[in-house]
Amino acid sequence: MAKKKDIRIGRYRILDELGRGAMGVVYRAEDPSLDRIVALKTISLSDADEDRKAYEKRFMLEAKAAGKLTHPNIVTIFDYGEEEDVAYMAMELLEGEDLRARIRKGDIPPMEAVEIALQIADGLGFAHEFGVVHRDIKPGNIMLLERGAVKIMDFGIARMRHADASKTSTGMVLGTPRYMSPEQIGGQPVDQRSDIFSLGTVLYEMLTQTSLFAGQDVNQIAHSVANTEPAPPSHAHPELPQMLDFIVARALKKDPSVRYQDAYEMAADLRDVLAEMRGRAPSRDRGDEHDKTQTLRFDAAAEKLPVAPAANAIARETRLPLSRVFDSDAALGRVEARGKRERFTLPPKRVGLFRRIWQDRLPRRLLVAALLAAGLGVLIASS
Amino acid sequence: MAKAPQVQIQPSVFASVAFLKIHDFGRRPVVEQARLRAQLEAAVAVVLQDLKEDARIVLDAADGIALVVLDDPRAALALAGRALAAGAAGLPLSIGINHGAVKQSGKGKHEGLLGDGIAVAAAIAELAGPKKLLVTREFRDALEDAAPGAEAALAGAGTHTDASLRAHALYRHEPRGAARRGARYAAAAAVAVIALAGAGVAFRVSIEGFDRYAARMEAQAMQAVARLRGEAPAAAPPPLQRAAKRRSR
């Protein structure tokens, strides 16, 4: 029998392929020196010399940064290096399913969704303390382990690819548009608040089983990210506590300065709402909305959003849902009923002099007084 | 030939939108947000009692509540004024009122309204500042159209540009404005009476001369007094004779 060829990257012996993505391949590998099974994430380096050098430098810097992150909610990185045209990162091998698969199944009860978001927020808070911004938080990068543990994956590589801003030197924006923050999708410099926005979209998706920023192409999604104001999750699921609406709304603020400034701050609020929810009976929300998230490259310079602040503001502020506290669905029939009557479909009319005198008490009195005075004047003049 | 599908277009209606915004809501801790929101809902529940259910729609906003008043702009202004007063106890409300087009939108659980009427009201509420009420020119016009004279309760607050670079001519609520207008009209009426009656007098004086006219008036006055006392009115001396007598005195 022919012996299977022994493939190695660095000192790691490749056992089998775990997955393949746009950025590289993930293998199950064995570290012979420690007799440990690891996940070996590889990424092909560019052939161009300048790019290669830049990638190498960033990879080393970012792998070092990610390697410092030892936290229960962050995947542990053991080693990194490069061999020929491949850069690799050895990390702990996680057994479980990713959040994307879990959302597809549609069986995340709200309490569990909050628990997952809380753990992600804790992990992000820790990473941000070390100056590491993930920049690609999405369900596909969240691993759910047994006993409810949650791990954030893909630190380092995302960072390496993004360097100091979310744009590369060639003007390319990297990430997953559906989960990107407005500043990230606009090619602006991003910080930890961008990860908080992405976490907000993930939480929203877990709670409602719907993608917050949908669209048929990147342009539509980018427009949606920049302009769509999400309806509170409790509109879809009235059993959710109102405080959760506020948390989601605050995480999803378009303006980073009014968003949560710190993932720990969001985690604290999630803890509070979790405590509130524990007092209620758990409920299960089901949906069949599925997502297809993939990390995309697109040219931010070529696809910059049009600057239309007034239109943006109208789109943002103009659509408001019915308040279920005060009104039922039938309330909208009032608008429909009035739409059939002409006087409600026209803007206000100018008030002319005659109407002013007829309908306004004070000018009418003035006119009467003037007429009486005029009559008196005529009487005096003719007497 | 296949028939083109019929698209049902929802009609737009003009309505007054009072946007009740909790000031600086986004920057407050979530626990405080929840408290303020509950307080706002309580205040709105109180003020809505004075308005027929059929005449309004309540919309949820991320940082407040929008009250769409369908029939009477005066009700929107009164409602907003009461909300401001009701919220004075620790609820930092800023209110913007606009009159503009609103339209039904969304389906199922996301049903609501959209339109410039709402967008501008929200922008104005942002400009208003805590415990302040601002209204737009469009609302003032609607108020004037619905009840000419009611617009006197609004005083100019200048032109402001919102975050979306839209310029708005704004007015602030001035409850004493109506009383001041009443006083101005009373003064104008008094001036009109004096001027017109005075014009009649001036005309007579210009024809008769002051002395003759004054004497005639005096005689008429004396006759009137005598009549009031029940005495037989004395024959009035000719006006010129009386005037000469007065001059000799």
- Does any CB of chain A come closer than 8 Å to the CB of residue B240? no
Mean pLDDT of the region B98-105: 87
Instruction: Please tell me the distance in Å from A140's CA to the nearest CA on chain B.
Output: 28
Q: Do B149 and A313 touch (CB under 8 A)?
A: no
Query: Model confidence over A9-59: pLDDT tens digits?
Result: 888 999 999 888 656 788 999 988 888 899 888 877 765 566 666 666 666
If contacts are CB pairs under 8 Å, which of residues 244-263 in chain A contact chain B?
A: 246-247, 249-250, 253, 258
Tell me how close the Cα of A15 comes to any Cα of chain B, in angstroms.
48
pLDDT of residue A215 exceeding 70 = yes
Distance in Å, alpha carbon of A124 to nearest chain B alpha carbon: 19
Residue B200 CA to residue B197 CA, distance in Å, equals 5
Burial of A151 (0-12, 13-18, 19+ CB in 10 A): buried
Statement: residue B2 has pLDDT above 70: no
Backbone dihedral angles phi then psi of residue A87, each to the nearest 5 degrees: -100, 145
Rounded Cα distance, A173 and A188, in Å: 9
pLDDT band for position A222 (50/70/90)?
confident
Catalytic residues of A: 136
Residues A235-280: tens digit of each pLDDT: 888 888 888 988 999 999 988 988 999 999 999 999 988 888 887 6
pLDDT tens digits, one per residue of A313-357 = 444 446 788 887 888 777 888 887 777 777 777 788 888 888 888
Given pLDDT bands bounded at 50, 70 and 90, which one contains residue B240?
A: low
pLDDT of res. B235: 59
* Local structure of A31: helix, strand or coil: strand
Interface test with chain B among A320, A326, A355, by most B beta carbons within 10 Å: A320
Class of domain A100-319: mainly alpha
Q: For B183, which residue in chain A has the nearest alpha carbon? A: A362
Q: Does A331 touch chain B (CB under 8 A)?
A: yes
CA A143 – CA B156 distance, rounded (Å): 59
The full set of domain ranges for chain B reads 12-175, 181-248
B178 and chain A: CB distance < 8 Å anywhere? no
Of B55, B104, B196, the CB nearest to A336: B104
pLDDT digits (tens, 9 = 90+) for A97-152: 889 999 988 878 999 999 999 999 999 999 888 888 888 899 988 999 988 899 99
Whether residue B93 contacts residue A308, with contact meaning beta carbons closer than 8 Å, is answered with no
Write down the pTM of the prediction.
Answer: 0.62
Contact of B214 with chain A, judged by CB distance below 8 Å, is answered with: no
Answer whether residue B232 shows pLDDT above 90. no
CATH 3.30.70.1230 fits B12-175, yes or no: yes
DSSP designation for B209: -
A8-93 and A100-319 agree in CATH topology? no
Tell me the angle at which helices A242-251 and A192-208 cross, rounded to the nearest 10 degrees: 140
Please compute the mean of the pLDDT values over residues B207-227 and round it to a whole number: 87
What is chain A's percent helix, strand, coil content, to nearest 5? Answer: 45, 15, 35
CB contact under 8 Å between A349 and B111, yes or no, is: no
Band (B109; pLDDT cuts 50, 70, 90): low
Residue A283, pLDDT > 60, answer no
Q: What is the ipTM of this complex?
A: 0.72
Q: For position B138, what pLDDT does the model report?
A: 92
According to the model, what pLDDT value does residue B69 have? 92
Question: Rounded CA gap, A217 and A178, in Å?
Answer: 10
Contacts of A249 in chain B (CB under 8 A): 26, 62
For residue A155, pLDDT beyond 90: no
Per the CB < 8 A criterion, the answer to whether A204 and A230 are in contact is: yes
pLDDT value at B248 more than 90: no
Per-residue pLDDT at A294 exceeds 80: no
Beta bridge partners of A27: A17, A40
CA distance B1 to chain A (A): 31
Looking at the DSSP assignment, which residues form a beta bridge with residue A42? Answer: A25, A88
Stronger pLDDT, B236 or B120, i.e. the higher one: B120
Q: Nearest 5 degrees, angle CA B238-CA B243-CA B248?
A: 125
B193 touches chain A (CB under 8 A): yes
How many C-beta atoms lie closer than 10 Å to residue A72's C-beta? 12
Position A361 scores a pLDDT of 84
Fold that domain A8-93 belongs to in CATH:
Phosphorylase Kinase; domain 1 (3.30.200)
Using an 8 Å CB-CB cutoff, list chain A residues near B48. Answer: 326
pLDDT confidence of B65, banded at 50, 70, 90?
Answer: very high
Phi, psi (deg, nearest 5) at residue A21: -130, -175
Write down the pLDDT at residue A237. Answer: 83
SS3 B70: coil
Please check whether residue B197 touches A, CB under 8 A: yes
Residue type, A115: E
Whole-number CA gyration radius for chain B:
31
Q: Say if the Cβ atoms of B164 and A313 lie within 8 Å.
A: yes
Q: What is the structure's pLDDT at B97? A: 94
Using the beta-carbon criterion (under 8 Å), do A362 and B41 form an inter-chain contact?
no
Does A362 contact B at CB distance below 8 Å?
yes
Mean pLDDT within A72-96:
85
Residues 6+ apart with CB under 8 A from B58: A322, A323, A325, A326, A327, A331, B44, B48, B65, B66, B67, B68
Runs of H (alpha helix) within chain A: 49-67, 99-105, 110-129, 157-162, 182-185, 192-208, 218-227, 233-236, 242-251, 263-278, 309-318, 333-339, 342-345, 353-359, 361-382
pLDDT of residue A299: 41
Mean of the per-residue pLDDT values of chain B: 83
pLDDT at A313: 45
DSSP label of A282: -
Inform me whether the C-beta atom of residue A359 falls under 8 Å from chain B C-beta atoms: yes
User: Which pLDDT band holds residue B51 (cuts at 50, 70, 90)?
Assistant: confident
Domain ranges of chain A: 8-93, 100-319
Residues of B in contact with A339 (CB under 8 A): 10-13
CB contact under 8 A, A373 and B181: no
- What is the predicted pLDDT for the residue at A280? 63
